[in-house]
Structure formats: structure tokens, C-alpha cells
Chains A and B, each alone.
Chain A
Amino acid sequence: EPEVTQTPSHQVTQMGQEVILRCVPISNHLYFYWYRQILGQKVEFLVSFYNNEISEKSEIFDDQFSVERPDGSNFTLKIRSTKLEDSAMYFCASSVRTGGTGELFFGEGSRLTVL
């Protein structure tokens, strides 16, 4: 069964360092997303991406964050200068369609720990 895959599963970094989280969405999906989940809290939307551009982003997704689809399969989230409060699980998701009728499928997540 097709699935969303994410790497790394866990990354530890020093505050101020750049981090890149990678995702391979399901191959026939057109829409890509990043969500995050701070330990013990609910899942929060960060950004959605379609047709090589950001379609929507939340207030969490500030100038320190960027996304990219560098090739036909990968979708990355970059945090330019990490802060302690960026420590969380980051989930990539993909869906075939949008417009209120798209089912999102999530990867297993990348745990980011900022020291």
C-alpha cells in the first residue's frame, strides 16, 4: 500500500542551526502539507503546497520556515534558524485533491529536538 515516507525519524540540533526535513509523498498525489505536533498537544497545520507553490500557510509558518519540491518525488521543510520552541514532531501529508473533499495521508513523522 502506498505511503508517505519521512526522513530523518529523529533529529537533534543546536539552537540556531538549520534543519531540513524530507518527505516523499504518495506518488500520484498532487497536494502536499506539513503539520507539526508539540508533545502531548494536537496536530497543527503549517503549510500546504500545490503546483510548485504554497497554497496556504498558518501563522506558525513564519520567515524561518520554507518548503520546496526540489525534484519529482521529494518535498522538504527547512527551518532556517531553529529555536527551542521548534521542538516537535513534524508530519508530512499528501492528498490527491482539494476543495474540501481530499483525504490526507500522513507520514510517520520526524521528531525534531532543539537543544
Chain B
Amino acid sequence: GQQLNQSPQSMFIQEGEDVSMNCTSSSIFNTWLWYKQDPGEGPVLLIALYKAGELTSNGRLTAQFGITRKDSFLNISASIPSDVGIYFCAGQLPGGGNKLTFGTGTQLKVEL
């Protein structure tokens, strides 16, 4: 199946720092979505991207849909303790209908 690789796999940062993570694939995607998952809970949608080159913000979060349509990044500015969790990218393939392919996840830990 399609593989979405996320990096870094995990990161440990200081409160107040900016965070950057990305997602890459060998395949082209029509849509990129970023989700956050807290332990024992379901993924919560953070940002949705629909066009190549699109840059979208949601509060302290900013995400971009790569020009090649094979990658996306997510930035979190001025991290706070509640940013802790696992961040997943997810994409929808051309002709893939509504199925989401999830990335491998980036675990974020914030040090006070």
C-alpha cells in the first residue's frame, strides 16, 4: 500500500519553542489532512489542505501542501504543554475516493 513517512518520529522540545514536522510520499495526493491524537482517543482534525502550494493556518498551527503534491509540513508556534500528543498526516489519493492513508506519526513531548 501507499506509504506516508513522517519525520521526525518523535521530538522533545521546550515550552515556547516552535515545532516543525513533515510528511513525504512517493505518490501524489489530492488532499492532505493533519490530525492530532491524544492517548486513548481518536484523531482530531487540525488542518485540511486541498491545493498544491496552499498554506493554511489554524491558530498557532500552520500547514502547507507541497508543490509536488507529494509532501506537506506542519508548524506549531510557541508550543504549550497541551500540544503533547501524536500528530498524523493523512492523504487522499487521486481516484482513491474517500479513503485516507495515514502517516507513521510524530510524537511530540513538551518540556515545561
Contacts and interface: CB of A to CB of B under 8 A. Distances in A.
A113 to B, nearest CB: 13
Interface stretch (B58-66, B72-80, B100-108): B100-108
Nearest to B3: A42
Interface in A27-73: 31, 33, 35, 42-45, 48, 50, 55-56, 58
A101 B41 contact: no
Contacts of A105: 45
A105 to B, nearest CB: 6
B8 interface: no
B98 interface: yes
B105 A42 contact: yes
Contact of A43 (B41, B44, B45, B88): B88
A108 B37 CA distance: 10
Nearest to B33: A103
Interface string B76-107: 00000000000010101010111111111100
The 9 closest A-B pairs by CB, nearest first: A100-B30, A106-B42, A98-B98, A43-B102, A108-B42, A42-B102, A100-B92, A106-B43, A109-B42
